[in-house]
Amino acid sequence: AAGVIQSPRHLIKEKRETATLKCYPIPRHDTVYWYQQGPGQDPQFLISFYEKMQSDKGSIPDRFSAQQFSDYHSELNMSSLELGDSALYFCASSSDRNIQYFGAGTRLSVL
């Protein structure tokens, strides 16, 4: 069965650079969630989209933005990167907003 696809798997950036993370949900899933998991931390909810509209907002910094496109894939845009942004970024998708299926994550390292 198809799963949530995230790209890239690994990303290395320097401070003050920008990064774009992509998420392709499971086919026919209309809801996408973004989570950030710092080293040794639990995943923290950033933002979610339902039918291409932002549906909920968590602890997402103002330097970050995200959107969901007409094909339901989502992109997380991160600007003015800081060392503290180094983390594993997970995307999850859902068709009923009850069960979330997670992708493999993008590991972002900011040097």
Partner 1 sequence: AQSVSQHNHHVILSEAASLELGCNYSYGGTVNLFWYVQYPGQHLQLLLKYFSGDPLVKGIKGFEAEFIKSKFSFNLRKPSVQWSDTAEYFCAVKGTGANNLFFGTGTRLTVIP
Residues interacting with partner 1, by CB under 8 A?
A: 31, 33, 35, 41-45, 48, 50, 55-56, 58, 90, 92, 97-105
Kindly tell me which of 14 and 27 has the beta carbon lying closer to partner 1.
27
Kindly tell me which of 19 and 43 has the beta carbon lying closer to partner 1.
43
Closest contact distance (angstroms) between CB of 74 and partner 1 is: 14
Kindly tell me which of 37 and 65 has the beta carbon lying closer to partner 1.
37
Distance CA 100, CA 13 (A): 29
Q: What is the DSSP letter of 25?
A: P
Closest contact distance (angstroms) between CB of 108 and partner 1 is: 15
Distance CA 98, CA 26 (A): 15
- The two three-digit tokens of residue 108, written as one number: 């972002």
